[in-house]
């Protein structure tokens, strides 16, 4: 070999080169691995920081920014009075848009069921044989056997309002008039029950003592009074979803809309009892918690004593005003027309489709019944007082309210077209706004809970005869008013005749809306508890980081833990205070005078949502809002 290298030297050199390449590769791989490791660590770190920042902004910063933006965008008030300044909020502000999408599920829920094949025409029930064969088959139609039963009040029950009874079944003959007031029709094919449907008939009641002439009561001036309530509906939400009804009220019926209508209690009982009796709900509950409400003075008892036929109808009877949660209701029917037994039967039958009567929306059935009762008594010259409360659809959620727009509008239009408003006053209102749901986390949502809607329609002849009342009503549309005032106004209507002049008579807690309501009126003057007052200045925002806010929040969390331990010993996990989202001091200027954020006197009122820790520390939705976590 000319190179002078032996084969062994050559192989050693090649081996060294291979080892060197391997070391270089390993070195480069190590550098790449370290680089990738640092890179992924950096990426993970960036994601962690971004997540924490997003959480921090969403939970701690954004709510305050949104509330501030809402306040800044609503500098023009709805009411601007010496006693009350009420903010004007846009109905579709972007902070609550996510919580105000219309729910149209009920539009198809009832028509999507098998259609009703039994129909009512006056006092007669008929059978649509074509529909019967189409939807149930020829075989079922040929073997069909139908019967009907009267639906009656179960007077022997411990709480009659929570029960109903059926009469003996009778053969159903299509086209044959019925004498019963409330009936259930059941059709079977062999051993299979095809359907059960329910029908309400308006029947004449015994004549009451009245001075009505043979031509009716219009000459006397006495008028029908219809109070139609829609549960948990704010003024703003009524405008969102009841557009047809509101337009008809304002443009065709010249209704008065009370923009400053403010709730006086927390729930339906807390607001409807003042409306019906003029008394605070606590008084009624204390006196009648363990006995029936028969002797409680209601509006219908006042109207009944003055010659009126009376009607009381409320949906959701198991959650009814006088039975929920453990009240005794009425031993005897409180009004002349009292369809509670059939409504209870319909609710028990409804199951998942509790909004439907056959393929019809139950609420529409009840509104048609109200219209029938109005027509029947108008023919007989008999004045009627009706108290009808709709809650099925609003309780589904406050966006399903859209489904009530057409039925309520149809009722008002039908009354208008036959001239019923010539001698009929209609009060259309709610008890409170939405008390739960996503919207309640916003300032607008909390305001809506305190401000139910309220309208009044009066016969044109009444307004022509009493121009001073018309002027006061016009002005009072922008005054702070309550259910106590609505009660006082209805009392005036109960005794009204052509010669009646005492339109301004007040009650212990309310003033007639036919008279002046002072602009200086504040929530204290109107018997509105501070936690329900919708006037600006009724609550002062408090820094959630302040000692007072944090101290009270810790107290509430401790109180909740103590309650859990008392009622469920060693069964519940303990809550731990995290932070205060927002806080406010409730009460008017007199209550806040001398308030120091560092103080802890009992003028500092707040609470975690829905909790009432102690009698003097009362504050639901709009007080202190804190967050807690499980330990």
Whether pLDDT at 194 is above 60: yes
> 596 versus 313: which is more confidently predicted?
313
Choose among 305, 256, 298: nearest CA to 274: 298
> 454 versus 352: which is more confidently predicted?
454
The pLDDT mean for the chain works out to: 83
Give tens-digit pLDDT for 477-526. 999 999 999 999 999 999 987 666 689 999 999 999 999 999 999 999 99
Output the CA torsion sign for 317, 318, 321, 327.
Answer: positive
> 597 versus 240: which is more confidently predicted?
240
If you count DSSP H runs as helices and E runs as strands, how many of each does the chain have, helices first? 20, 20
Give tens-digit pLDDT for 400-417. 888 899 999 999 999 999
Name the pairing type of β-strands 165-166 and 124-127.
unpaired
Q: What is the dihedral of CA 43, 48, 52, 57, to 10 degrees?
A: 20
- Phi, then psi, of 202 in degrees rounded to 5: -80, 120
| Mean pLDDT calculated for residue range 359-369 | 92
DSSP state of 355: T
Choose among 61, 22, 68: nearest CA to 545: 61
What pLDDT, on a 0 to 100 scale, did the predictor assign at position 65? 56
Q: What share of the chain is helix, strand, coil (3-state, %, to 5)?
A: 40, 20, 40
Give tens-digit pLDDT for 613-622. 333 233 333 3
Q: Cα(332)–Cα(330) distance, rounded to whole angstroms? A: 5
Whether pLDDT at 6 is above 70: no
Which secondary-structure segment (H or E) carries 182?
strand 182-189
Model pTM score: 0.79
| Mean pLDDT calculated for residue range 526-548 | 81
| Mean pLDDT calculated for residue range 122-136 | 92
| Mean pLDDT calculated for residue range 288-317 | 95
What pLDDT, on a 0 to 100 scale, did the predictor assign at position 442? 83
Give tens-digit pLDDT for 281-291. 999 999 999 99
Q: Cα(303)–Cα(331) distance, rounded to whole angstroms? A: 20
> 172 versus 611: which is more confidently predicted?
172
Neighbours of 279 (CB within 10 A): 18
- Decide: 235 and 453 in contact? Cβ < 8 Å: yes
Return the structure tokens found at 212.
Answer: 């009505």
């Amino acid at each position: 070999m000319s190179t002078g290298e032996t084969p062994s030297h050559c192989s050693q050199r090649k081996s060294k080169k291979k080892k060197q390449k391997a070391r270089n590769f390993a070195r480069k791989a190590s550098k790449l691995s370290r680089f990738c490791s640092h890179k992924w660590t950096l990426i993970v770190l960036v994601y962690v920081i971004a997540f924490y920042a997003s959480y921090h902004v969403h939970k701690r910063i954004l709510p305050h920014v949104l509330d501030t933006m809402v306040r800044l965008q609503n500098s023009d008030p709805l009411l601007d009075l010496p006693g009350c300044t009420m903010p004007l909020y846009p109905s579709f502000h972007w902070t609550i848009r996510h919580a105000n999408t219309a729910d149209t599920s009920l539009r198809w829920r009832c028509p999507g069921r098998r259609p009703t094949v039994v129909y009512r025409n006056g006092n007669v029930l008929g059978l649509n044989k074509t529909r019967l064969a189409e939807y149930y088959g020829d075989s079922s139609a040929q073997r069909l056997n139908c019967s009907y039963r009267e639906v009656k009040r179960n007077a022997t029950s411990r709480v009659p309002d929570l029960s109903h009874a059926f009469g003996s079944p009778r053969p159903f003959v299509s086209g044959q008039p019925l004498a019963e007031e409330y009936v259930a029709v059941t059709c079977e094919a062999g051993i299979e029950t095809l359907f059960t449907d329910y029908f309400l008939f308006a029947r004449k009641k015994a004549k009451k003592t009245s001075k009505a002439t043979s031509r009716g009561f219009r000459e006397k001036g006495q008028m029908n009074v219809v109070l139609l309530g829609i549960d948990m509906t704010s003024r703003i939400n009524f405008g969102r979803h009841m557009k047809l009804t509101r337009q008809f009220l304002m443009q065709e019926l010249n209704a008065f809309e009370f923009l400053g209508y403010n709730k006086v209690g927390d729930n339906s009982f807390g607001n409807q009892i003042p409306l019906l009796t003029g008394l605070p709900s606590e008084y009624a509950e204390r006196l009648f918690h363990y006995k029936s409400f028969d002797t409680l003075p209601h509006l219908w008892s006042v109207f009944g004593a003055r010659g009126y036929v009376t009607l009381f109808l409320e949906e959701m009877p198991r959650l009814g005003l006088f039975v929920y949660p453990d009240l005794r209701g009425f031993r005897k029917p409180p009004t002349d027309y009292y369809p509670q037994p059939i409504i209870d039967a319909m609710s028990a039958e409804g199951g998942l489709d509790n909004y439907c009567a056959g393929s019809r929306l139950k609420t529409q059935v009840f509104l048609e019944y109200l219209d029938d009762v109005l027509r029947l008594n108008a023919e007989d010259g008999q004045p009627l007082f009706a108290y009808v409360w709709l809650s099925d659809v609003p309780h589904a959620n406050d966006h399903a309210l859209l489904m009530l727009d057409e039925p309520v509008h149809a009722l008002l239009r039908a009354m208008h077209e036959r001239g019923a408003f010539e001698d009929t006053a209609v009060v259309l209102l709610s008890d409170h706004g939405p008390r739960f749901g996503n919207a309640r986390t916003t300032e607008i949502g909390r305001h809506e809970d305190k401000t139910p809607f309220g309208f009044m329609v009066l016969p044109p002849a009444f307004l022509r005869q009493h121009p001073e009342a018309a002027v006061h009503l016009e002005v009072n549309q922008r005054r702070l008013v309550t259910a106590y005032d609505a009660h006082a106004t209805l009392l005036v209507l109960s005794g009204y005749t052509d010669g009646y002049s005492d339109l301004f008579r007040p009650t212990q807690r309310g003033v007639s809306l036919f008279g002046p309501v002072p602009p200086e009126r504040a929530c204290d003057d109107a018997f509105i508890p501070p936690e329900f007052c919708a006037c600006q200045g009724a609550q002062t925002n408090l820094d959630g980081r302040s000692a007072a806010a944090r101290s009270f929040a810790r107290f509430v969390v401790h109180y909740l833990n103590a309650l859990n331990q008392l009622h469920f010993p060693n069964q519940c996990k303990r809550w731990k205070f995290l932070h205060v989202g927002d806080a406010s001091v409730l009460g008017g200027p007199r209550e806040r005078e001398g308030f120091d954020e560092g103080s802890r006197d009992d003028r500092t009122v707040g609470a975690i949502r829905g909790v009432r820790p102690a009698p003097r520390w009362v504050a639901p939705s709009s007080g202190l809002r804190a967050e807690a976590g499980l330990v």
